[in-house]
Amino acid sequence: MDLSLNIFKNKNVLITGHTGFKGSWLAIWLKKLGANVIGYALDPLNSEDNFSLSGLKNSIIDIRGDIRDSKLLNEVFKKYNPEIVFHLAAQPLVRYSYEHPKYTYEVNVIGTLNLLEAMRNCNTTKAAVIITSDKCYENKEWVWGYRENDPMGGYDPYSSSKGCAELLVSSYRNSFFNPEEYSIHKKVIASVRAGNVIGGGDWSKDRIIPDCINALELNKDIIIRNPKAIRPWQHVLEPLGGYLKLGINLLKYNTKFSGAWNFGPNSESIVSVEEITKKIINYWESGNYKSINTISTQLHEANLLNLDISKSKFYLNWAPKWNVDKAIEETVKWYKNYHNGNVYDLCVKQIDEYCNT
């Protein structure tokens, strides 16, 4: 992972959703690269997540704000003049989207609209990386990976909202940030789609890693509701490394790297929820699990998801470094050590190990 260009050093970088799982890891990595990090997000979920335990609020500009609040967001752009934006603020859960569909669309679609408008009105902002999801595609449950130019879709509100966000980004790219008119607007945007991301510091509801860790810490059986569902598992540092490489290229070469990008694992890391659970138990060195039958009441979730990452490999020279076993090993290592203090250093150590792999 060649990030030795130091292109982020002393640059104002805005991260929306920096209190979240992926956002907190990205903020730590960008701080390590010398960036002036401005974070805009809601409060962290709890006192034990990565943002809280790493003490990030003391080392970055930490702003509390709702992505739906366009007035406040525009004020942040005007005050801090970010040169590049990583937009991660989102409602990220499928099952929660069934309970709160309106909120999900407001955050994931209107929130993205607010971000794009703020960028459009800020002369200093040159680039944006908009994070969506692998679930943005029209999922046909086929075995080969989705390419960046496959149709958008989404069965459930969450997946649909991410497809909508992608269409919105495409519209703004064509209408306001057209690559052929770059000399006029001097802005470039890209959207990115990752697989099922795991790593230390995620305590979100209805996610397999937090569910496993919570059960293991309490010495209870792990309950899994959809054991045969197959997902593209990857450590959080995998897509973040891709986002950073893409950001570097957007700042250096602008329009050549405009568009959509997939950052997923290699095929051997596309495995079932049950297999992931067994691997977690193995690295934790104790524990049991139970599958529960929820067929009669289970809300629809995709069973098979896969991304084609050829474009990122060819044009960005990006490729996965850690397979599913290494991803699980490093994830378990975080959860086994977070009680010992200095989580920031623990994260930096894993980032260093990833970069040096």
The domain limits of the chain are 3-195+236-265+304-323
CB 190 within 8 Å of CB 129: yes
Predicted confidence at residue 296, as pLDDT, reads 44
Phi, psi of 62 (to 5 degrees): -105, 105
Looking at residue 195, its pLDDT comes to: 86
Question: In this structure, are residues 347 and 28 in contact, taking their beta carbons and an 8 Å threshold?
Answer: yes
Return d(Cα 332, Cα 209) in angstroms, integer: 9
Q: Which fold has domain 3-195+236-265+304-323?
A: Rossmann fold (3.40.50)
pLDDT at 301: 64
Question: pLDDT 10s digit of each residue in the chain, 357 long?
Answer: 455 458 999 999 999 999 999 999 999 999 999 999 999 999 998 888 999 999 999 999 999 999 999 999 999 999 999 999 999 999 999 989 999 999 999 999 999 999 999 999 999 999 999 999 999 999 887 778 999 999 999 889 999 999 999 999 999 999 999 999 999 999 999 999 998 999 999 998 878 999 999 999 999 999 988 888 888 899 999 999 999 999 999 999 889 999 999 999 998 999 999 999 999 999 999 999 988 755 444 666 666 778 999 999 999 999 999 999 999 999 999 999 998 889 999 999 999 999 998
Q: What is the reported pLDDT for 295?
A: 46
Rg of the Cα atoms in the chain = 19
For residue 163, what is the enclosing H or E element?
Answer: helix 157-175
pTM of the model: 0.94
218: left (phi over 0), alpha (psi -120 to 50) or beta: alpha
β-strands 259-263, 188-194 pairing = parallel
Q: Which residue has the tokens 């230390």?
A: 200
Q: Which of 42, 40, 91, 37 is nearest to 247 (CA)?
A: 37
Helix (H, G, I), strand (E, B) or coil at 17: coil
Torsion on CA atoms 29, 337, 22, 118, rounded to nearest 10: -60
